[in-house]
């Protein structure tokens, strides 16, 4: 009955009116003017939210709480909830809750009362059928099986549509099974299976128990089909048995076991295959065959076990479980002591996953197994190769396996090395090389990588040397060495290899590369002295090959220094060779400098060879070449000094023979002809100097103004020389004669010879003609003076004849001068001839008169003299006029001028004229 509010309110007012505002638990106050009047007006408060760390709670603690809650609460719903949670937790924690059996029993026993209370009152959130079920379960747990079954039967009876009915029926059937009433149990299980709405998990359990109930009745076929159904169910919830939860494991395992047992009892693998053919293929067949094989193996029936496994392998070779089955086959053979069969099985295993695709499809553990088998088999073949007849074949097999294995290992270095060794033994050098390289460079963490890489290097070297059939060229070899050194910079063998490569490159005339290689070693202080020495040698050679002689010199010096520093022992001959190389490099530098017109540098180089290789041939050569260089560069004095020094230092050297001529040349070129002549004549005291040299010397003397020395040679020569047989000789002799005459060493006699030779010869030169002409003129002047000295006295004919002879002699000379053709001589000759005639004429006129002539006679005599003189004057006049004519030929000299003077005296009307210069103006627009 609902009490009217008036009374309640009255009482409410009774007490409320006496009190202050309602107080809550903790200073609760409703201050209306601050907080709003209604819930909607409530001002929100700040609530803190923090993510805090959560304690690690053990399931035992939770269980303890639930037990405590169960014990302490009076509410049956809460108690049952605690119990259910506890049961669930027990399942999840795999029973590790430290709840003893007694406690558990007590809980369930007490819970029975709660269940009954809730069932009776209906005051529960749980549905009644669920309560009945849980009650049944509780009875079962406390050992009250009959009561449990009774409750389950009550559930089935009273709640035919309950979702728990199937579970209940299952439990009833379970009870029958426990009581060994298998037929009853089977019937019960069948009821559950036939239910459409039974859960899959329940059906699976039911199938399982159905199978067992059938098995117990020896109905193996039916049982097998039931167990297949169990596996079908389990497959659906375990991702096709890839992820079997712990809770399912036992059932699955047991089902497989019993199926194996059934198969074994009904015919083995064939029976299993027949069953599967009948019920249809299953994707978990491998498990069945696997378990059958396990069973046989546990029974010691290796062949049957293998047959079972291989049956499946044959059926489905690409199945993911095949590797495991193969492994099982191997294990079975091994366990049973069949080593060969086990090995063959391993080989099959290896071969089955040889290609990368199929290998990649293997699981990680299968790959590990494959790797192990491969290694084992490879080792087996390798060891066997030492004793087998077909050694190469065994090594090849071993190598093949190692090579196959290596890329599939993380630490493959060792295997790759072994592969290399195996291939090497098998004669497949390329593969050996590849594997050595792999071991050396592609196997991180491999401790002997350097050795493997070095093996590759050695193999390449042998290949290069054609000791093994390996296609390798020098580039490849060099690349290989460089690679070795890059990777194993601290390995001393790298230096050796570099030197070797350098030398090979040098041999191949690849000097630049050889230089690079050698430089790597020589510059590295870590290299051994021997390696560095060899590197310097190679560098020297390379530098020389590259014509970098300065660098070559440094290299040689370095190498040489190493020999002197005691870093290594070198035979003397080798050291000498080094010295030679050094000297050569300097020599070459001199040549280079010389080619570059760096004379001083070249000379310096040439000269310093001696400091490196004293008195060596090259040093001597160098000095000689230094002199030559100076000579060729026209540094005469320096060259002369050098030559003289050279001759002084090496008088017996073959090159010394060349010094004489070079000195002569140098002297001459340097404007020291006398020294040149002296040089030429230097051997005259001991060795007869050839006329050629003497004449050269005479020439030099002549050039130097040492006329005396010259004249001596000339005179000696002329005294012995035969008449010239050729032009050169003629001219030479004429020149000599001329010079003798000019220098006053010879008189008219030589002149006459000069003129006569010139007249006689068919060879002339301007010089010879000029000399002859000059000589003729001198002779003519002498004759003229003799003519002039002859006075015309009585007897005039005699004196005249004598005069006439002198005249002829003079005229002859003058005509000879004219004949020699020089302009100057010709004009003088003409003049003098003309003057001779005028003199004659004058002398005639001035000749003494015979005594006793009267005037008339005298006049007559004068007329006769004039008639006699007049032709001479005419001739003089003509000769002068001929000289004058030379003007029109464009020639004028003093003799022409004198001739003109005489003509102006002799014919003033014609020849005595004032000359007048005419100006020349350059007019534009001329006729041209």
Partner 1 sequence: MVRVVCSIILMLSVTLVTAAPSTDAERRLALARFSEAAGEPSQALAWLQGLASPTANLVRAKALLASGRPEHARQLLEALTRGDRHRGEAWLLLAREQLAEQGREAARPALQNAARLSHGATRQEALYHLADDYLQLGQLDQAGRVLASMDDGYWAAMGYHNIATGYSDVDSTSARSLVAIRVALAMLDGDGNRRRAEALRAELLLKAGFLAYQSNEFQKATGFLDDVPLNSFATPRALYLHGLATFAQRHYRGAMQSWHRARKFPLAFSGSVDAWLGMGRSYDELGYLAQAGEAYLAANAALESEQVTLSTLADEVDNKGAYQAMVLAARNSDVEWFLADSRTLTQPRLAYLLHLAKQPDAQQAIARLATLADLAQTLQRHEHDLGLFIETLDERQRTSVSNPTAEQLAAQATRLARALANLQGDGEQASRTELASITVQLSDIRDSLDRWQDRTTLARTQQSRLRDRARTLKTTIPGLLTAVTELQEAAGQELDRIATDFIEGERRRIRLAQDRAEQHIAYLYEYLALNTLERDLQREVAE
Q: Does 793 bind partner 1 (CB under 8 A)?
A: no
Cβ atoms within 10 Å of 352's Cβ, excluding its own: 18
Q: Which residue from 516, 505, 519 is spatially nearest to 558, judged by alpha carbons?
A: 519
Q: Cβ(287)–Cβ(241) under 8 Å?
A: yes
Q: Does 922 bind partner 1 (CB under 8 A)?
A: no
Cβ atoms within 10 Å of 899's Cβ, excluding its own: 30
Residue 78 or 721 with smaller CB distance to partner 1 = 78
Span near partner 1 by CB under 8 A; candidates 44-52, 445-453, 602-610, 916-924: 44-52
Q: Does 51 bind partner 1 (CB under 8 A)?
A: yes
Q: Which long-range contacts (CB under 8 A, 24 or more apart) does 690-699 make?
A: 691/717, 691/721, 695/732, 696/664, 698/736, 699/673
- Sign, CA dihedral 834-836-837-843, equals positive
Residue choice 33, 53, 387, 597 for contact with partner 1 (CB under 8 A): 53
Cβ atoms within 10 Å of 467's Cβ, excluding its own: 11
Residue 111 or 185 with smaller CB distance to partner 1 = 111
Q: Does 917 bind partner 1 (CB under 8 A)?
A: no
Q: Does 74 bind partner 1 (CB under 8 A)?
A: yes
- And the tokens for 36? 């709003």
Span near partner 1 by CB under 8 A; candidates 75-83, 359-367, 516-524, 525-533: 75-83
- And the tokens for 408? 């599939």
Q: Does 247 bind partner 1 (CB under 8 A)?
A: no
Residue 25 or 854 with smaller CB distance to partner 1 = 25
Residue 54 or 490 with smaller CB distance to partner 1 = 54
Q: What's the min distance (Å) between Cβ of 113 and partner 1? A: 17
Residue choice 33, 57, 890, 909 for contact with partner 1 (CB under 8 A): 57
Residue choice 33, 55, 318, 925 for contact with partner 1 (CB under 8 A): 55
Span near partner 1 by CB under 8 A; candidates 72-80, 265-273, 776-784, 841-849: 72-80
* Three-class SS state of 203: helix
Residue 14 or 919 with smaller CB distance to partner 1 = 14
Residue choice 80, 82, 140, 401 for contact with partner 1 (CB under 8 A): 82
Residue with the two structure tokens 């002197």 = 564
Q: Does 83 bind partner 1 (CB under 8 A)?
A: no
Q: Does 819 bind partner 1 (CB under 8 A)?
A: no
Q: How many residues bind partner 1 (CB under 8 A)?
A: 66
Residue choice 33, 44, 571, 915 for contact with partner 1 (CB under 8 A): 44
- Sign, CA dihedral 26-28-34-38, equals positive
Residue choice 13, 267, 444, 614 for contact with partner 1 (CB under 8 A): 13
Pairwise CA distance, residues 5 & 511, whole Å? 122
Pairwise CA distance, residues 785 & 625, whole Å? 62
Residue with the two structure tokens 């296609």 = 471
Q: Does 863 bind partner 1 (CB under 8 A)?
A: no
280 Ramachandran zone, left/alpha/beta (phi>0; psi -120 to 50): left
Q: What's the min distance (Å) between Cβ of 365 and partner 1? A: 15
Spatial neighbors of 104 by CB under 8 A, at least 6 apart, are: 141
Span near partner 1 by CB under 8 A; candidates 73-81, 157-165, 278-286, 826-834: 73-81
Annotate 108-157 with DSSP letters as a single string.
HHHHHHHHHHHHHH--SSS-HHHHHHHHHHHHHHTT-HHHHHHHHHHHHH
Q: What's the min distance (Å) between Cβ of 104 and partner 1? A: 17
Q: Does 15 bind partner 1 (CB under 8 A)?
A: yes
Q: Does 81 bind partner 1 (CB under 8 A)?
A: yes
Pairwise CA distance, residues 766 & 304, whole Å? 133
- And the tokens for 73? 């609460």
Residues 84-123 binding partner 1 (CB under 8 A) are 85, 89, 92-93
* Three-class SS state of 239: coil
Q: ∠ CA(175), CA(181), CA(183), 5° rounding?
A: 115
Residue with the two structure tokens 């070797």 = 500
Residue 88 or 576 with smaller CB distance to partner 1 = 88
DSSP label of 3 = P
Residue 64 or 128 with smaller CB distance to partner 1 = 64
Q: Does 471 bind partner 1 (CB under 8 A)?
A: no
Q: Does 75 bind partner 1 (CB under 8 A)?
A: yes
Q: Does 368 bind partner 1 (CB under 8 A)?
A: no
Q: Which long-range contacts (CB under 8 A, 24 or more apart) does 860-869 make?
A: 868/844, 869/840, 869/841, 869/842, 869/844, 869/845
Span near partner 1 by CB under 8 A; candidates 62-70, 120-128, 347-355, 455-463: 62-70
Span near partner 1 by CB under 8 A; candidates 79-87, 130-138, 608-616, 901-909: 79-87
Binding residues for partner 1 (CB under 8 A) = 1-3, 5-15, 17-26, 28, 30, 32, 35-42, 44-45, 47, 49-59, 61-62, 65-66, 68-69, 72-75, 78, 81-82, 85, 89, 92-93
């Amino acid at each position: 009955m609902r009490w009217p509010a008036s009374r309640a309110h009255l009482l409410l007012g009774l007490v409320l009116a006496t009190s202050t505002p309602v107080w809550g638990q903790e200073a609760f106050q409703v201050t209306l003017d601050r907080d709003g009047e209604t819930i909607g007006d409530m001002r929100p408060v700040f609530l803190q939210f923090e993510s805090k760390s959560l304690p690690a709670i053990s399931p035992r603690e939770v269980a303890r709480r639930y037990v405590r809650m169960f014990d302490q609460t009076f509410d049956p719903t809460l108690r049952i909830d605690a119990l259910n949670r506890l049961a669930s937790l027990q399942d999840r924690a795999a029973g590790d809750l430290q709840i003893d059996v007694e406690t558990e029993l007590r809980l369930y026993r007490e819970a029975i009362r709660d269940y009954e209370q809730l069932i009776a009152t209906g005051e529960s959130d749980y549905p009644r059928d669920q309560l009945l079920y849980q009650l049944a379960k509780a009875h079962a747990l406390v050992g009250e099986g009959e009561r449990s079954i009774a409750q389950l039967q009550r559930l089935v009876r009273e709640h035919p549509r309950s979702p728990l009915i199937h579970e209940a029926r299952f439990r009833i059937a379970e009870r029958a099974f426990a009581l060994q009433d298998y037929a009853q149990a089977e019937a019960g299980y069948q009821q559950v299976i036939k239910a459409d709405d039974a859960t899959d998990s329940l059906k699976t359990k039911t199938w399982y128990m159905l199978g067992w109930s059938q098995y117990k009745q020896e109905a193996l076929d039916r049982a097998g089909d039931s167990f297949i159904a169990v596996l079908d169910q389990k497959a659906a919830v375990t991702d096709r048995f890839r992820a079997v939860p712990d809770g399912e494991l036992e059932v699955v395992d047991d089902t497989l076991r019993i199926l194996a047992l059934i198969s074994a009892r009904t015919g083995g693998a064939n029976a299993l295959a027949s069953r599967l053919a009948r019920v249809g293929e299953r994707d978990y067949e491998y498990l069945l065959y696997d378990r059958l094989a396990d069973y046989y193996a546990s029974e010691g029936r290796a062949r049957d076990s293998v047959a079972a496994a291989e049956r499946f392998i044959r059926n489905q070779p690409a199945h993911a479980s095949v590797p495991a089955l193969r492994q099982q086959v191997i294990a079975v053979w091994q366990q049973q002591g069949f080593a060969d069969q086990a090995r063959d099985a391993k080989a099959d295993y290896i071969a089955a996953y040889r290609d990368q695709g199929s290998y990649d499809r293997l699981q990680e553990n299968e790959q590990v197994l494959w790797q192990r088998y491969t290694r084992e088999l490879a080792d087996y073949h390798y060891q066997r190769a030492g004793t087998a007849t077909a050694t190469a074949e065994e090594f090849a097999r071993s190598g093949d396996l190692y090579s196959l294995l290596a890329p599939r290992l993380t630490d493959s270095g060792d295997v790759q090395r072994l592969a290399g060794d195996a291939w090497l033994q098998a004669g497949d050098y390329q593969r050996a090389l590849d594997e050595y390289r792999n071991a050396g460079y592609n196997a991180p963490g491999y401790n002997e990588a350097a050795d493997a890489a070095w093996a590759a290097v050695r193999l390449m070297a042998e290949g290069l040397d054609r000791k093994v059939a390996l296609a390798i060229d020098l580039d490849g070899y060099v690349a290989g060495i460089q690679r070795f050194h890059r990777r194993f910079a601290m390995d001393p063998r790298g230096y050796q290899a570099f030197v070797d490569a350098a030398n090979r490159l040098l041999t191949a005339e690849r000097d630049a590369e050889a230089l690079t290689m050698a430089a790597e070693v020589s510059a590295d202080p870590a290299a051994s002295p021997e390696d560095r020495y060899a590197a310097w040698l190679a560098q020297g050679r390379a530098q020389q090959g590259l014509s970098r002689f300065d660098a070559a010199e440094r290299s040689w010096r370095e190498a040489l220094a190493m020999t002197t520093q005691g870093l290594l022992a070198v035979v003397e001959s080798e050291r000498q060779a080094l010295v030679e190389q050094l000297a050569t490099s300097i020599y070459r530098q001199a040549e280079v400098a010389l080619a570059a017109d760096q004379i001083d540098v070249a000379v310096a180089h040439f000269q310093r060879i001696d400091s490196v290789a004293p008195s060596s041939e090259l040093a001597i050569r160098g000095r000689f070449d230094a002199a030559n260089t100076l000579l060729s560069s026209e540094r005469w004095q320096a060259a002369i000094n050098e030559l003289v020094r050279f001759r002084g230092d090496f008088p017996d050297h073959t090159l010394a023979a060349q010094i004489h001529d070079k000195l002569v040349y140098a002297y001459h070129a340097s404007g020291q002809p006398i020294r040149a002549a002296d040089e030429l004549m230097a051997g005259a005291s001991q060795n007869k100097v050839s006329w050629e040299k003497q004449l050269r010397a005479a020439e030099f003397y002549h050039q130097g103004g040492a006329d005396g020395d010259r004249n001596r040679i000339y005179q000696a020569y002329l005294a012995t020389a035969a008449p010239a047989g050729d032009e050169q000789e003629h001219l030479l002799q004429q020149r000599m004669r001329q010079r003798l005459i000019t220098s006053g060493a010879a008189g008219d006699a030589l002149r006459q010879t000069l003129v006569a030779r010139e007249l006689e010869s068919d060879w002339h030169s301007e010089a010879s003609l000029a000399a002859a002409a000059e000589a003729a003129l001198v002779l003519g002047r002498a004759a003229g003076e003799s003519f002039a000295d002859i006075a015309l006295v009585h007897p005039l004919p005699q004196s005249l004849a004598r005069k006439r002879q002198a005249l002829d002699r003079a005229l002859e000379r003058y005509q000879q001068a004219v004949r020699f053709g020089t302009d100057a001589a010709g004009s003088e000759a003409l003049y003098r001839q003309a003057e001779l005639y005028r003199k004659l004429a004058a002398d005639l006129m001035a000749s003494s008169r015979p005594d006793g002539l009267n005037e008339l006679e005298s006049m007559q005599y004068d007329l006769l003299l004039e008639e006699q003189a007049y032709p001479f004057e005419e001739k003089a006049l003509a000769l002068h006029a001929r000289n004058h004519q030379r003007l029109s030929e464009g020639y004028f000299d003093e003799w022409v001028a004198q001739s003109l003077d005489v003509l102006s005296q002799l014919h003033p009307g014609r020849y005595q004229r004032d000359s007048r210069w005419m100006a020349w103006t350059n007019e534009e627009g001329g006729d041209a």
